[in-house]
Structure 1
Amino acid sequence: MKTEERVETKSSRGSVQDKVLAGLRYGLMSGLFVPGQVFSLRKLAANFGTSAMPVRESLSRLIAANALEELPNRSVRVPRLSAQSLEELFELRVRVEGMAARIAATRITDEELRKLVEINQTVKDAHDSGAMGEVLKANQSFHFALYRLTRSTVLLPIIEGLWLRCGPTMYFSLSSPGIWDNSSHLDMLTALERRDPDATEAAMGRDIMKTGNYLIQQSRSGVKTGPIAELSFSFDGEEHPLAL
């Protein structure tokens, strides 16, 4: 094989793995995978339209990041989080994402604010229509559009790591009345419009702990299972089911 061909093959393989890893990370952070869900290497590879190798490598990287766990039989699943773990993760989220919200309030432009308003309307429309999978995806888009306003190369990876751990629990909160009423997002948008760091941080904390308090209470009460999301994500312009 010529050198150019070897480089191209290696590059293509890396590109496929990057896409698989990005898809899995997105599914975890958006709450499209749930705690206790076991992954099938064969089904994942089929859904991504690739061989098993890039899927296996991507799963290994997520295991190393503690976003997934390997069982004694070598299967891979989304970890179940104890009440203590949830308490720690949500406390960290309030602190770190609250800091990001403060910074965003001092840097946001009018155009960026309009974009956040549009994304939040997508959250509301999805909720009103009962498309709960779309609610999760739009909620993730809203939060990370806000966090990117910090222009920080330090904060964003930390927040992504927290969402990789917390994201899968989000699906269990969808049936709880009041959590997804959109009021905290509206409070954030009002505070951002005023360029008020204190109010933006406070609204962010309320939004995070609405879900956090519910999930911690559920964990303490012994709730261990939940419905597997019959959802899909977009990969290479096509929708792929997340019944894995």
Structure 2
Amino acid sequence: MGSESPAPAPPAASSAEPKRPIHQHVYERLRNMILFGDLAPGQGVTIQGLTTALDAGMTPVREALRRLISEGALTHLGNRRVTVPELTYAGLEELKFMRETLEPELTRRAAERMTEAHLAELNACDNVLNLAIDRGDVGGYLMHNYRFHAMTYALADASIMAATVDQLWLRFGPSLRVVCGRYGTSNLPDKHVEILAAFEAGDAELAGRVMAEDVAQGMTQIRAALDGQPVGRRFD
């Protein structure tokens, strides 16, 4: 695998955009650290360590930890110990069931609302994702893979399901980073080309079926990593 480059920083907010409260900014930064695997499964975090890493005060860090614990992205073990949960086989099966139930449905709904502009944005995102795969850029892969899915689900106009799926991603994001670190990006499955083709054809049912395959392959990769087994080849 090529050398890993840091995930690109988000674009700077324009002067016309309202400034986010500091506690929200800290929450989003810590959430991204979990989502994109900068914090490993089982890794402990402390308020003091995070205030230094995030260059933030203790109050917004405490609030971010409280929110992320309530969302299941972090676990409070008592005695002020907080860790990133390690994914168990039982937890993996629950995540697989919920993802395979919700994400194909969101994809079908997105297909029904797809426009040429939306499709162009998804194609552009997938192009950047493929470049990250080719470069062995784990951080870029994780960020743009998440973006592709999040952009798709946002089009579904189903906010409750989309928010639920977003929380599910927090549960397996650190483990997906482990998969990438162990096996590299060239072996990762990718059904996005087929999903985009289904969107372009206006075939909502096909788009949903292919997304189900994409989800199943990704969860199989994580299961293989938990088992210490080789992962399958990339499908595109």
Q: TM-score range by the shorter chain?
A: 0.7 to 0.9
Unpaired runs of 5+ in structure 2? 1-18, 230-236
Residue identity opposite 1:93 in structure 2:
R
The Cα shift of 1:44 comes to 1.8
- Residue 89 of structure 1: aligned partner: 95
- Residue 66 of structure 1: aligned partner: 72
Distance 2:127 2:228 in 1: 35
The Cα shift of 1:46 comes to 2.3
Residue identity opposite 2:188 in structure 1:
W
- Residue 153 of structure 1: aligned partner: 159
The Cα shift of 1:181 comes to 4.7
Retained in 1: the 8 A contact 2:23–2:61?
A: yes
Matched, 1:217 2:224: yes
CA displacement, residues 53-93 of structure 1 (integer Å, 9 cap, x when unaligned): 11111101211222210123322110011111101111101
Matched, 1:208 2:215: yes
**Greater relative CO (CA pairs within 8 A, separation 6+):** 1
Give the alignment's TM-score, normalised by structure 1.
0.79
Distance 2:213 2:116 in 1: 24
CA displacement, residues 118-163 of structure 1 (integer Å, 9 cap, x when unaligned): 0001111011111111111111111101111112222221111111
Distance 2:199 2:34 in 1: 28
- Residue 105 of structure 1: aligned partner: 111
Distance 2:166 2:143 in 1: 14
The structure that has the greater radius of gyration is 1
The 5-angstrom pairing of residues 1-244 of structure 1 reads 15-174=21-180, 175-176=182-183, 179-182=187-190, 184-219=191-226, 221=227
Distance 1:26 1:145 in 2: 16
Residue identity opposite 1:32 in structure 2:
D
The Cα shift of 1:216 comes to 2.0
- Out of 71-80 and 37-46, give the one that drifted further: 37-46
CA displacement, residues 96-117 of structure 1 (integer Å, 9 cap, x when unaligned): 1111000011101001101100
Query: Alpha carbon RMSD of aligned pairs, Å?
Result: 2.0
Unpaired runs of 5+ in structure 1? 1-11, 224-244
CA displacement, residues 194-238 of structure 1 (integer Å, 9 cap, x when unaligned): 11111111111111121211222333x379xxxxxxxxxxxxxxx
Report the secondary structure of 1:70's partner residue: strand
Distance 2:178 2:54 in 1: 26
Distance 1:185 1:124 in 2: 10
The Cα shift of 1:51 comes to 0.8
Retained in 2: the 8 A contact 1:173–1:211?
A: no
